[in-house]
Structure 1
Amino acid sequence: MINGNAKMDDDIVTQERNYFLQVLKTFDNYKKQSLLRIEYKEKCLSALPSQHQTWLEKYKNDLDNIKSCIDKNADYIPIVVQHAKNIFENLYTSDNSGSHQKSSVGTLSEGLDKVQSVFKQLMRDWSSLGAKEREECYSPVINEIELQFPEDKVDRRDIEILVPGAGLGRLAFEIAKRKFNCQGNEFNMFMLIVSFHVLNHCKKIDEFEVFPWIHQYCNNLSVETQMLSVRFPDIITSLDKSSQFSMTAGDFLEVYTEPDVFDCVATCFFIDCASNIVEFLETIYTILKPNGVWINLGPLLYHYSYMKNEKSIEPSFEVLCEVIKKVGFVMEKCQTGLKTRYCQNPQAMLQYEYDSVFFVCRKPMLNGNHFMGDLQNEIADAFNGDKKWD
């Protein structure tokens, strides 16, 4: 007799394995799909009147140069894919379902865009060109963590910190580098595969070169803007043996359900990735230990907002602050208008800049069987001018 739960578990593993293989195949297909887009542009060019084609001769040469950059991006992919086979203890590429089955699965429809976004993320997280963005976005979070847990008062090895939406892992890495027990969590398999390579297999500074914006055809002063390259990693990515650093794969809401685990949750450009942001707030509250802190920086882009057939809510920051208090947090710090950017080409004609919010919230200590959050929130509101003392 077949165990129904066991069969269901096997089905889930099979689905996850197939998705992993699809991601690997999408990586493999990057060059082909990218060159097909160039071929279409060349076809459009060849359909123009001959005089126009003559005037656009440099544009035609530019497309050839762009192809060369795509080739160089593609050279990095086999290195990543080769090491990806060691992720998850070979669960997805075991002898029973090995990489030979990669040919039996298709590519992901949105995959090319995700591969392109990984190249931009490599710039942001692991290149010297991304240092300014990291200073804007990561430094306030790191500085607050160090303020909350001073090295002369706590043993940082005992301070457990979670970084959801860790991307390619630089923020979590920098926290672990400061002797904290840090775990990054990421749902995007494309990000996980590349972060695995950078964090575990890069041996030299500036070992690899990629062209993050080679697929960005608009708002370029010259083709050199589009062909701007970066080298990575900008530092040696190994940590000393006493460091405690890990990365987990999976949906934040599904992976983290155990209460009172972390001393700190640090979110950077993350909370607006939820279709229902309240679920994120509740989960953060649950997994924090009493007196634990949540440190957040980022905008409210609400990624699901314009996705067809996706449910989404988009509360303003004012509404969000009220919900944060209702969940049980005490907001201790709040700053708006922090100028931050995300994966921007500094030479492009169009520059996006967010006025991000930065805040620190605390999960109150227990007092007997009751949390002291309501009283502390009233006091905090009073000092913020929201209430008058009688």
Structure 2
Amino acid sequence: MNGDLANEEKKHFFRIINAYRYYRIYSIKRLEKGKKFFDTLPMYQQKWIPTFSSTYEDMLTAINANNQFITQIIKHSKHVFQNGYDYFDKRYKNEVIKDLHYQIPSQFDMEKVDSTVKQFFRDWSLEGKLERDISYTPILIDLQLLFKEDTFQEISILIPGCGLGRLVYEIAKLGFTAQGNEWSLFMLLASNFILNNCKTINAYQIHPWLHQYTNNYQTTQQTAHIAIPDVNPSDIPENSNFSMSAGDFLEIYTEENAWDSVITCFFVDTAHNILDYFETIQKILKPGGYWINFGPLLYHYADMPNETSIELSYEQIKIAIIKMGFKLIKEKCNIQTGYAQNPKSMLQYLYNCVYFIAQKPK
């Protein structure tokens, strides 16, 4: 590995670890901000909200519970890399940690920590089942229809942008050879913990909506807890082939005709150039292989300063994939779903998603 590239990778790793470690400080600072303002209110107004102090204590308790869970993610992060934590030599590690000790993580990084905690709601809680059923169930049903059951173990399926890995787990549980791919190190550290270190159902309690200070019907909604995982992540057939890869989808997957199916669930709109994703999918699919897609077109880089992005309509996308040679064999539009959405919030974001199956020519 190029020396400069290796150093950048090390810095990135410890930057993410630093953001996770800063979670408690960050959360308490936000909580204290509200309390300090409340303390400046006239005493007669403070008396109108007699539960403010008890709510503050409940928030502190929830912050500490989340932090204990995040500490477990950090503790097991050394297993993410093939060569272990010692992949980062001790001298370099100590120097970087010393530097980061004086750096406050960016708001962007702290929002990533928060969104990762929310992702546990979506992927690994009983309460997130409704979201999963809308997104994952059609995929799981169609996979079983597209391939013969006695060949499942021979069928290789790739799921890029797999987040915390629940869809990969469900596909592997059916007996397929399944590999998840994820670029975000926030997600990779978290998925490593839940997939490789959680052997008991409902082993942890976390508070996914702790940082949602607005649109709460009741104060208890903000501190509500969920139990994770709702299943045992190691509960898959012994002969299952279940793996995860870290890195950029476009850079890692270059082998032609390698996969029987590629599944993109809430993924294709994470590209700078969505057409690059389509080309890679076409290249790595075996002749006759299936591309299954579910999701909206949020386009993560749209309108971001100093970032390039091409934003195509679904109509344009259909034209493009047909011109590329794909055959659209199934399509359903306007499927409403949220994404890591607080079901009790006064504000609901819903996507009208599209689901399609496209086949590469034989």
Length-normalised TM-score, structure 2: 0.94
2:80–2:188: 8 Å Cα contact kept in structure 1? no
Distance 1:108 1:240 in 2: 41
1:126 is matched with which residue: 118, 124, 127?
Answer: 124
Distance 1:279 1:107 in 2: 35
Q: State the 1:56 CA deviation.
A: 3.3
Distance 2:157 2:175 in 1: 11
1:306 is matched with which residue: 296, 303, 307?
Answer: 303
Distance 2:138 2:293 in 1: 9
1:22–1:107: 8 Å Cα contact kept in structure 2? no
Distance 2:88 2:273 in 1: 40
TM-superposition CA deviations, 1:200-244 (whole Å, max 9, x none): 110110000100000001110111111121111111111333000
1:203 aligns with 2:199: yes
1:168 aligns with 2:158: no
1:45 is matched with which residue: 33, 38, 54?
Answer: 38
1:79 is matched with which residue: 72, 76, 86?
Answer: 72
2:253–2:280: 8 Å Cα contact kept in structure 1? yes
Aligned to 2:211: 215
Deviates more, 1:93-102 or 1:218-227: 93-102
1:255 aligns with 2:252: yes
Deviates more, 1:309-318 or 1:69-78: 309-318
Aligned to 1:282: 279
Distance 1:29 1:129 in 2: 27
Aligned to 2:146: 148
Aligned to 2:82: 89
- Secondary structure at 2:132 match in 1: helix
2:152–2:175: 8 Å Cα contact kept in structure 1? yes
Structure 2 unpaired stretches of 5+ = none
Distance 1:241 1:23 in 2: 33
Larger Rg: 1
Aligned to 1:377: none
Length-normalised TM-score, structure 1: 0.88
Distance 1:95 1:321 in 2: 45
Aligned to 1:232: 228
Aligned to 1:291: 288
1:55 aligns with 2:48: yes
Structure 1 unpaired stretches of 5+ = 1-5, 366-390
Count residues with an aligned counterpart. 356
Distance 1:41 1:68 in 2: 16
AA aligned to 1:21 is F
TM-superposition CA deviations, 1:118-137 (whole Å, max 9, x none): 11110110111111111000
- Secondary structure at 2:352 match in 1: strand
Distance 2:241 2:286 in 1: 19
TM-superposition CA deviations, 1:10-44 (whole Å, max 9, x none): 22111101111111111111001111111111222
1:162–1:184: 8 Å Cα contact kept in structure 2? yes
Distance 1:69 1:233 in 2: 18
Q: CA RMSD in A?
A: 1.6
Distance 2:40 2:86 in 1: 46
1:26 aligns with 2:26: no
Deviates more, 1:293-302 or 1:41-50: 41-50
Aligned to 2:98: 103
- Secondary structure at 1:172 match in 2: helix
TM-superposition CA deviations, 1:245-303 (whole Å, max 9, x none): 10001111111122111000011111111121111111111111111100001111111
1:264–1:292: 8 Å Cα contact kept in structure 2? yes
1:17–1:92: 8 Å Cα contact kept in structure 2? no
Aligned to 1:13: 6
Q: State the 1:358 CA deviation.
A: 0.4
1:23–1:107: 8 Å Cα contact kept in structure 2? no
Deviates more, 1:92-101 or 1:178-187: 92-101
> Using a 3 Å threshold, how does the CA distance of structure 1 residues 296 and 95 change in structure 2: closer, same or farther?
closer
Q: State the 1:92 CA deviation.
A: 5.0
Q: State the 1:346 CA deviation.
A: 1.4
TM-superposition CA deviations, 1:304-344 (whole Å, max 9, x none): 11322222221111111111112221111111011222111
Distance 1:304 1:16 in 2: 22
Distance 2:241 2:98 in 1: 38
- Secondary structure at 1:295 match in 2: strand
Distance 1:95 1:323 in 2: 44
2:10–2:88: 8 Å Cα contact kept in structure 1? no
1:136 aligns with 2:134: yes
